[in-house]
């Protein structure tokens, strides 16, 4: 009976996500699968954590949209999430929740929370950080670079990253009645995921240049022609960097968790 109730909530959420253009059709289907796997292991509480991440990051990506138009030029995709972005942001967490369902091992629940906290920290940092008045500083060159450049940091973005990880940690405290040590643990590793994301973005993410307008971009096409890769690995786009950084944070967090409990 409970499961049926959760399923209804899930369908309503996914429908609203689609209806209000936060998700594409493929993104909606992926979100439903991610939601079902999450509900199996971590029930309504897990779904709420996931929902907090998806709604807050969608909210921030739509917030002051007009100020972000120049930035979107630079980024590979717009604010509407397709299946790849949903899987990159929620897929591993859904698998962690499903493993928790299968094994009942608390470490998978911890991993789930770190994955969500990391993704949330990341998204808040980049979506809110682009609203910073000053351009961010690249951690690769220590020079100011245009807003929206991967691997660059600003005060506002860093504060937003702290807030994004903290929101999930606080929700964990309220929803799961978690011990304070665990709440702080999830917060720290969630924020670590954001730092890893910045590092990967700065040094390894594929970056291209448009030879017509000289824009540095994550897009493979610009001004009606192919852009030229100037650094990074071709397969390492923004989605994969997001996925890898939260995965690495969750793996390190799980190992530390297992060794101290």
Minimum distance from residue 228 beta carbon to Zn ion (Å): 11
Placement of tokens 């852009």 in the chain: 227
Minimum distance from residue 231 beta carbon to Zn ion (Å): 18
Contact 41, 20 (CB under 8 A): no
CB nearer to Zn ion: give 213 or 258.
Answer: 213
Cβ within 8 Å of residue 224, ≥6 positions away: none
Tell me the β-bridge partners of 138: 152
Tokens of 206: 């594929």
Minimum distance from residue 223 beta carbon to Zn ion (Å): 3
- Is residue 183 classed as helix, strand or coil in its secondary structure? helix
Chain positions 187 to 246 lying near Zn ion, rule: CB under 5 A, are: 210, 212-213, 215, 222-223
Q: What is the DSSP letter of 53?
A: H
CB nearer to Zn ion: give 65 or 221.
Answer: 221
CB nearer to Zn ion: give 45 or 73.
Answer: 73
Contact 178, 45 (CB under 8 A): no
CB nearer to Zn ion: give 223 or 255.
Answer: 223
Phi, psi of 228 (to 5 degrees): -110, 135
Minimum distance from residue 222 beta carbon to Zn ion (Å): 4
Measured distance CA(191)–CA(6) in Å, rounded: 29
CB nearer to Zn ion: give 174 or 223.
Answer: 223
Minimum distance from residue 224 beta carbon to Zn ion (Å): 8
Placement of tokens 């030029």 in the chain: 73
What string marks each residue from 152 to 191 as x (binds Zn ion by CB under 5 A) or -?
Answer: ----------------------------------------
Applying CB under 5 A, the site for Zn ion has a residue count of 6
Minimum distance from residue 132 beta carbon to Zn ion (Å): 24
Measured distance CA(216)–CA(123) in Å, rounded: 21
CB nearer to Zn ion: give 21 or 212.
Answer: 212
Residues near Zn ion (CB under 5 A) are 210, 212-213, 215, 222-223
């Amino acid at each position: 009976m409970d499961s049926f109730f959760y399923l209804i909530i899930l369908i309503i959420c996914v429908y609203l996500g689609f209806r209000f253009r936060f998700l594409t059709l493929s993104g909606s289907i992926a979100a439903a699968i991610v939601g079902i796997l999450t509900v199996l292991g971590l029930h309504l509480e897990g779904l709420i954590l996931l929902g907090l991440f998806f709604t807050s990051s969608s909210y921030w990506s739509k917030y002051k949209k007009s100020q972000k138009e120049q930035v979107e030029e630079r980024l590979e995709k717009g604010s509407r999430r397709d299946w790849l972005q949903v899987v990159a942001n929620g897929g591993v967490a859904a698998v962690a929740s499903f493993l928790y369902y299968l094994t009942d091992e608390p470490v998978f629940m911890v991993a789930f929370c770190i994955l969500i906290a990391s993704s949330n920290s990341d998204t808040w940092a980049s979506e809110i950080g682009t609203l910073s008045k000053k351009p961010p500083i690249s951690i690769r060159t220590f020079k100011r670079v245009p807003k929206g450049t991967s691997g660059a940091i600003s005060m506002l973005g860093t504060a937003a990253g702290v807030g994004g990880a903290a929101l999930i940690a606080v929700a964990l405290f309220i929803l799961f009645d978690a011990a304070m040590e665990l709440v702080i643990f999830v917060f720290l590793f969630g924020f670590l995921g954001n730092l890893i994301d910045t590092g990967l973005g700065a040094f390894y993410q594929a970056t291209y240049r448009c030879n017509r307008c000289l824009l540095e971009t994550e897009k493979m096409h610009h001004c009606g022609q192919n852009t030229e890769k100037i650094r990074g690995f071709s397969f390492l786009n923004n989605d994969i960097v997001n996925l890898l950084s939260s995965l690495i944070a969750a793996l390190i967090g799980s190992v530390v968790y297992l060794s101290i409990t």
